[in-house]
Amino acid sequence: MSTMRYVDYGAGGGPDVLRIAQCERPLPREGEVLLEVAYAGVNRPDCAQRIGRYPPPPGASPIIGLEVAGRVAALGPGAQRWQIGDAVCALVPGGGYAEFCAVPATHCLPVPPGLSLAQAAALPETCFTVWDNVFVRARLKAGESFLVHGGAGGIGTTAIQMASAFGARVLTTAGDEAKADYCLEAGAERVVLYRNEDFVAAAMDFSGGMGLDVVLDMVGGPYLERDLEALAMDGRIAVIAFMGGAQATIDVVKLLRKRASIIGSTLRPRSVAYKAELAAELERHWWPRLADVRLQPVVHSVFALEEAAKAHALMESGTHSGKIVLAVRPETGDGNGS
Chain residues in the site for ligand NAP (CB under 6 A): 43-45, 125, 129, 149-150, 152-156, 173-175, 179, 194, 218-219, 240-241, 243-244, 265-267, 315, 318
Q: Rounded to 5 degrees, what angle do the CA atoms 60, 66, 69 make? A: 115
DSSP, res 210: S
Number of Cβ within a 10 Å radius of residue 10: 10
Number of Cβ within a 10 Å radius of residue 34: 23
Asked if 316 and 47 count as a contact pair (C-beta separation under 8 A), the reply is yes
Minimum gap (Å) between residue 219 Cβ and ligand NAP: 5
Euclidean distance between CA atoms 25 and 88, whole angstroms: 19
Asked if 35 and 100 count as a contact pair (C-beta separation under 8 A), the reply is yes
Minimum gap (Å) between residue 217 Cβ and ligand NAP: 9
Minimum gap (Å) between residue 337 Cβ and ligand NAP: 16
Query: How far is C-alpha 4 from the chain's CA centre?
Result: 26
Q: Which of 86, 126, 130, 129 lies closest to 108, judged by CA?
A: 86
**Residue number with CB closer to ligand NAP (73 or 243):** 243
Each residue of 120-158: b (16+ CB within 10 Å) or e? bbbbbbbbbbbbbbbbbbbebeeebbbbbbbbbbbbbbb
**Residue number with CB closer to ligand NAP (62 or 269):** 269
**Residue number with CB closer to ligand NAP (6 or 128):** 128
Euclidean distance between CA atoms 111 and 43, whole angstroms: 19
Minimum gap (Å) between residue 315 Cβ and ligand NAP: 6
Q: Which residue has its beta carbon closest to ligand NAP?
A: 153
Minimum gap (Å) between residue 125 Cβ and ligand NAP: 6
Euclidean distance between CA atoms 150 and 118, whole angstroms: 23
**Residue number with CB closer to ligand NAP (265 or 338):** 265
**Residue number with CB closer to ligand NAP (98 or 152):** 152
Minimum gap (Å) between residue 245 Cβ and ligand NAP: 10
**Residue number with CB closer to ligand NAP (260 or 267):** 267
